[in-house]
Amino acid sequence: MKADPKKRNASPAITWEAILTSLEDGVIVIDPRGKISFINQAAESLVASSAARALQEPYTRLFRKNLWLLSMIENSQPPCLNSTRGESDFVNLWGRSAPVSASVSPLQDQYGRSLGTILLLRDLTRRREMEEDLKRSDRLAMLGTLAAGLAHEIKNPLGGIKGAAQLLRRALVRDPSLVEYAEIMIREVDRVNLLIEQLLDLSQPARLNLTPLNIHELLDQVLLLERETTQEKRIEVRKRFDPSLPPVYGDRLQLTQVFLNLIKNAFQAMNDQGCLTITTRMETDFHIREEGKDPGKFIWVDIQDDGIGIKEEDLPHIFAPFFTTKNAGTGLGLAICYRIIKEHGGLIRVESREGEGATFRVSLRVTS
Ligand SMILES: Nc1ncnc2c1ncn2[C@@H]1O[C@H](COP(=O)(O)OP(=O)(O)OP(=O)(O)O)[C@@H](O)[C@H]1O
Ligand SMILES: [Mg+2]
């Protein structure tokens, strides 16, 4: 029997359920008794509850940590029947919080009878990250202009001070206590010079020498550079490398600098002992691609420590130049990492809670 050509080419029927399930925004319907009667996939992951568990639950339980949302929903029910929109932090059932925009409307049939409430929730995390990225780039550009001007003005007098201190050291060679003072002057001038170099580095676009790199080899070399610290401090290093990863496109020196800064920070956060875990994987979060850039595959590297962690109020500032909580820190380490990774077309993010360690994730483009 011949197949009906019309049937063969016919596309599968589009159902409302398929449409709602495929939406990136969360959709939740609450029936007139206040129970959840529909929840799509995006909403399931936002509230951290499967449909099987959420359906027929009272909405007051599902949203119990979000008083702002509860009052929006109350407002949409009879007798008020108001539609409202708002933006706030949504706390899911596990206590994790994410910025969301919410739209709550009364659901009515064609005769105006109330069928409950419909809720749209949009996760704003990625958008907030992009806004932060933009602000950071602007701040760096401003700092760049300032640094270039300042560096020029400061380097000349510094050269003079260093030359004079060197002459002084030679003239005082018979008096060791005074020689020491001259040496302190020279050392401190070198420190300021280094700081200026770092600032200039931060402000000028780097000339990247991109080559295919084996990320595991590079990480091993960085660990070798820091081997003394791991032994002195009794730090255990765990490597969870995915051996199937393809090479990444990167500048060897600059990426070495990034991972060195991150690993140094991790060691400093762990004081005398702890565990550093370095994990590599293929990136599956495809939002990572910057808009307008050609699509590509990415890998990520997690540098995770179990040190002191980062205070919530410090988290928005740690990539800013000169932000430091250390006595002897310059606060340029992470700002430099940020700039280098940005120039590689990658991304650097952090997750941390005070007292619970920190994880820095670097995403980099692979060669194919
Ligand atoms: N792994 C980490 N654990 C806890 N806090 C961290 C970690 N990495 C960075 N920080 C916080 O971020 C701040 C900024 O880090 P950054 O590397 O930019 O500067 P720094 O380490 O203070 O100084 P520098 O790197 O110039 O010596 C640190 O002072 C610290 O408060
Ligand atoms: Mg540092």
Instruction: Tell me the CA–centroid distance for residue 83 and ligand 1, in Å.
Output: 45
pLDDT score, position 130: 79
What is the whole-number distance in angstroms between the Cα of residue 276 and the centre of ligand 1?
Answer: 16
Last residue of a domain, one of 145, 174, 203: 203
Whether 227 maps to a domain, the answer reads: yes
- Domain assignment present for residue 4? The answer is no
Q: Does residue 57 fall inside a structural domain?
A: yes
Residue 8 has a pLDDT of 55
Residue 227: how many CB atoms within 10 A of its CB?
Answer: 10
Residue 351 belongs to domain spanning: 210-365
Domain final residue, candidates 169, 203, 237: 203
Measured CA to CA, the distance from residue 217 to residue 170 in angstroms comes to: 46
236 & 318 share domain: yes
pLDDT at 351: 94
The ligand placed nearest to the CA atom of residue 263 is 1
Tell how far the Cα of 335 is from the centroid of ligand 2, in angstroms: 9
Which residue's alpha carbon is nearest to atom 13 within ligand 1?
324
Residue 3 falls inside a structural domain: no
Residues 360 and 217 in one domain: yes
* Domain shared by 192 and 217, yes or no: no
| Residues lower than pLDDT 70 in the chain | 1-10, 204-206, 285-295, 368
| Number of domains within the chain | 3
CB of 306 closer than 6 A to ligand 1?
no
Residue 6 lies in a domain: no
Q: Do residue 115 and residue 234 come from a single domain?
A: no
Q: Is residue 177 part of a domain?
A: yes
Q: Is the CB of 318 under 6 A from ligand 1?
A: yes
* Strands in 77-180 per DSSP E: 84-91, 97-108, 114-123
d(CA 137, CA 144): 10
318 lies in the same domain as 340: yes
Same-domain check for residues 90 and 228: no
pTM (2 d.p.): 0.66
One domain for residues 77 and 108: yes
The pick from 318, 336, 339, 349 for probing ligand 1's pocket by mutation, whose C-beta has the most ligand atoms within 8 angstroms, reads 318
Q: Which among 71, 47, 45 is positioned nearest to 57, based on CA atoms?
A: 47
Asked, for residue 5, whether it belongs to a domain, the answer is no
Query: Which pLDDT does position 4 carry in this prediction?
Result: 54
Q: Which burial class, exposed, middle or buried, applies to 101 when counting CB atoms under 10 A from its CB (0-12, 13-18, 19+)?
A: middle
Q: Does residue 217 sit in the same domain as residue 179?
A: no
- Residue 2 has what pLDDT? 47
Q: Which ligand is nearest to the CA of 350?
A: 1
Retrieve residue 326's tokens.
Answer: 């250390």
Same domain, 107 and 23: yes
pLDDT, tens only, 95-124: 888 999 999 999 988 888 889 999 999 999
Query: What spacing in Å lies between the alpha carbon of 332 and ligand 1's midpoint?
Result: 8
Give φ, ψ of 243 to 5 degrees. -70, -15
Domain boundary among 73, 102, 123: 123
Q: Give a yes or no: residue 254 inside a domain.
A: yes
SS3 of residue 52 by DSSP? helix
For residue range 202-260, what is the model confidence (pLDDT) as tens digits? Answer: 776 667 889 999 999 999 999 998 888 777 888 999 999 999 999 999 999 999 999 99
